[in-house]
Homo-oligomer: A and B are copies of this chain.
Amino acid sequence: MSKHTEEIQKLKSKQQLKWVGKSVKRIDGPEKVTGEQKYKTDLKFPDMVWGKVLRATYPYAKIRAIDTTKAEAHPEVVCVLTHKDIPGFNGFGIVTPDQPVLCEDIVRCTGDAVALVAAETMEAAEEAIKLIEVDYEPLDPVIDAESAMIQGAPRLHPDGNIHSHVTIENGDIEKGFEEADYIFENTFYSPRQMHAFIETEGGWGIMEKDGSLTIHCPAQYGHRDKLQIARALALNPERIHVYSSPNGGGFGGKDEITVQIYLALLAMNTGGRPVKIHLSREESVIAGIKRHSFKVTVKTGAKKDGTLIANKVRAVADTGAYASLGGAVTALAVEHASGPYKIPNVDMEGFCVYTNNGIAGAFRGFGVNQVCVGIETHIDMLAEKTGLDPIEIRKKNAYRQGELSSLGHVVGSSVGTIETLEKAKESDLWINRDLYKSQGSEPWKKKGVAVATSFHGVGMGLGTPDYGAATIELLEDGRFKVGVAIEEIGTGNGTVYAQVAAEVLRCNVDDIVVVQGDTKETLDSGTISASRSTYTGGRAIATAAPNMISLLTEAAAEILEVPNADIELADNKLIVAGDENSFVNYKQIYNKLYEKHQTTRVEGHFYLPREKEELKNSGGAPHHLYGYMTHVVMVEVDTLTGETEVLHVVAIPDVGKVLNPQGLEGQSEGGAVMGIGYTLYEDTLIEGGYHKTKNFTDYIIPTIRETPIIETIPVESNEETGPFGAKGIAEVVMIPIIPAIMAAIYDATGARINHLPATPERIYQAIQATKKQTLVSR
């Protein structure tokens, strides 16, 4: 048993959990609510200059020449920079650095950066940008991923347009279909969703007097950004300090480099003055990454008794002009495309393809949103064909812990699918669904209730480093400074870190000072993505804590002049075992420790457990750990207009263990609303390489008006490897709601929607088409 496990077992067995499992208030709540907390893009300085990026005029064009003379002559301009001014490697990208920092001879999307300006005011910077003359030779853009894959299509990158191709095969797919009693085959299209964070990309940077570089930028992995900046600017990464927290929202959209390298490059050219960039919403839409739009064809075979027996999937993802995390998104899509089931024969493949449609990258759900709709829709069709209960069919096919998945691997970690389905079945919405559906408003408005389940990997896939690290330092005033690099991005992970730390150190949450998103003060702990932050950061803290306790014990024993073994950790102090009156508090211990070790800081490191072997050509599958979730949804469809409203959601996540009920509800509700937006409203439309939706005037996200009643009923599967049994749920909370809404629309109207978002027009047309079919078949 590891130190960590021992510590937690001890705490659990005594049932003494004081902080974990409680709705501890957000440690950053008051300052966020009052507006006292300044975000990076809020800050201004007296001698600050404004940076601005010149974006490409065309989605695909050769650059013949760039003339900056006129811009340089602008009286308020500080510098004008092009690719010639990049001291290092002119490229970035988390996996493949295929995106130029500043384009040299070609532009591949309208978000491409061609030049940078710094000027005394934002207005002057905008004027100067317009004075830069770029001589383009426009080319015909590649606007469709499937066409881009065909031989002879214009090659957007030297190795061709297929950035990656992943496959997972298990069993014998042909035999599976031969043995099937029913076969369903459909093609599903998914939207190019926008992250729609409140704070658009931006930040500020300064070249310090000592020659080091400071970058403040809301981001999702400051330690990695540092390396990307260093590569582009040929700087020593040790001399770059990135402050990446707090974030006004990220959802994956700030995982890739946004403006960090521009800030750094400008800061090197402004004579030591701070430089700020803050993208307008329109620039954020055009230049920022989006969710990959997918075309997914799914063919599912099943037996009469409801057993799923074969699943064949072909997914094509449009990654736009650059890969960013497109390869990984496609890999996750393929890994999850047969759901949390044990289908014995699968043949799944995915292509990540370059086009000139903007840029796609990481986004909450990471490929699973796009593929979950296929298998879940087919299960509902199967339920209808066989007359079986949709929940029972799912339970019948769901793998349990220790069983083989559709990928053919034994799932050793906790699996909550069946329990979430049982809770769904017991929910009032499901039990009384016929009653609710009959309580109508106008007769042309139809209600429908449906259920869906899904899952999502926690942490990186195989082949990608995945580790957490925490520092704990005893402060002079007796509090503990807990450093975890993983950024605060709105999820409240800092509060959970404080809870875990207070629990394992036996002090109050108020005695914990959490430091996040600071490459100078914290150790590299990986990215805030992949539903990994609570799990990873929590475990890292729990690993550091015994080191701190040893240190405290040693000092207390010396002060009290008793053997180490006699010292016991009590609430906020150390006592001689059994004698509450013989104690020293942390404040006293500080001086003792400092005198002895010249430091009061310890570290804790945690490597995420992983599977032994990667499935060949799968791009990282399988994950060791998954979060599971079921959603029950009620919708109401206006059959005259197609307008649809989600009225009620029951969200049942398998969270391992609830660390903070209020925080969990926040994630669950936010995820549900984002899923509603994805399913019904949101799509970043691009025509001929140009964005049609550029702002929230035409890109509609759900507001409080579109937010239904959301009940969250957590299942605690007790994940052995997690902090106090917890696992990540940040992504899965937005996933099963998508097929659930689609199925509820069908339940209400008899019309199946395979092309998201399910806009009123699409729903209306689907209803009309269904009616026609009905007429014909009579």
Contacts and interface: CB of A to CB of B under 8 A. Distances in A.
Interface of A: 84, 87-90, 158-159, 210-212, 230-231, 234-239, 462-467, 469, 523-524, 598, 605, 607, 610, 612-613
B466 A234 contact: yes
A464 B234 contact: yes
B465 A524 contact: no
Contact of A613 (B84, B88, B598): B84
B524 A235 contact: no
Nearest to A211: B605
Nearest to A460: B234
Contacts of A523: 236, 238
A226 to B, nearest CB: 12
Given A211-B607, A238-B469, 10 more contacts: A89-B463, A159-B159, A231-B465, A234-B463, A234-B465, A234-B467, A235-B465, A236-B605, A239-B605, A598-B598
Contacts of A238: 469, 523-524
B610 A87 contact: yes
A451 B231 CA distance: 42
Contacts of A467: 234-236, 239
A188 to B, nearest CB: 31
Contacts of A88: 463-465
A462 B88 CA distance: 7
A159 B96 CA distance: 15
Closest CB pairs A-B (n = 10):
A236-B467, A234-B465, A84-B613, A238-B523, A89-B463, A238-B524, A88-B463, A239-B605, A211-B605, A236-B524
A475 B67 CA distance: 56
A87 B239 CA distance: 30
A16 to B, nearest CB: 28
Contacts of A610: 87, 234
Contact of A607 (B84, B159, B235): B235
B469 A236 contact: yes
A465 B605 contact: no
Nearest to A227: B227
Contacts of A613: 84
A496 B89 CA distance: 32
A524 B239 CA distance: 10
A524 B607 contact: no
24 contacts: A84-B612, A87-B462, A87-B610, A88-B463, A88-B465, A158-B159, A210-B605, A211-B607, A231-B465, A234-B462, A234-B464, A234-B466, A234-B610, A235-B465, A235-B607, A236-B465, A236-B469, A236-B523, A236-B605, A237-B524, A238-B469, A238-B524, A239-B467, A239-B469
A263 B524 CA distance: 23
A605 B237 CA distance: 12
Contacts of A89: 463-464
Contacts of A212: 605
A355 to B, nearest CB: 21
A230 B88 CA distance: 23
Contacts of A90: 463
A79 to B, nearest CB: 13
A211 B598 CA distance: 24
A599 to B, nearest CB: 9
The winner among A211, A234, A462, A466 for most chain B CB atoms within 10 A is A234
A103 B221 CA distance: 32
Nearest to A104: B616
Contacts of A231: 465
A577 to B, nearest CB: 27
Nearest to A87: B610
Counting chain B CB atoms within 10 Å of each CB, the highest count among A84, A230, A462, A463 belongs to: A463
A241 B455 CA distance: 38
A241 to B, nearest CB: 13
Contacts of A612: 84
Contacts of A605: 210-212, 236, 239
Nearest to A85: B612
Contacts of A235: 465, 467, 607
A431 to B, nearest CB: 46
A700 to B, nearest CB: 41
Contacts of A465: 88, 230-231, 234-236
Nearest to A86: B463
A34 to B, nearest CB: 36
A534 B514 CA distance: 43
A350 B106 CA distance: 24
A164 to B, nearest CB: 12
Contacts of A464: 88-89, 234
A467 B235 CA distance: 7
Contacts of A239: 467, 469, 605
A63 B237 CA distance: 40
A90 B620 CA distance: 12
Nearest to A608: B234
A483 to B, nearest CB: 13
A571 B158 CA distance: 61
A210 B466 CA distance: 17
A207 to B, nearest CB: 12
Nearest to A610: B87
A5 to B, nearest CB: 15
Nearest to A469: B236
A543 to B, nearest CB: 9
A399 to B, nearest CB: 24
Nearest to A237: B524
Contacts of A462: 87, 234
A605 B235 CA distance: 11
Nearest to A599: B598
Q: Which of A87, A88, A235 has the most B CB atoms < 10 Å from its CB? A: A87
Contacts of A84: 612-613
A463 B237 CA distance: 15
Contacts of A237: 524
A88 B610 CA distance: 11
A260 B537 CA distance: 29
Contacts of A234: 462-467, 607, 610
A171 B243 CA distance: 48
A524 B230 CA distance: 12
Nearest to A466: B234
A462 B612 CA distance: 41
Contacts of A466: 234
A231 B238 CA distance: 19
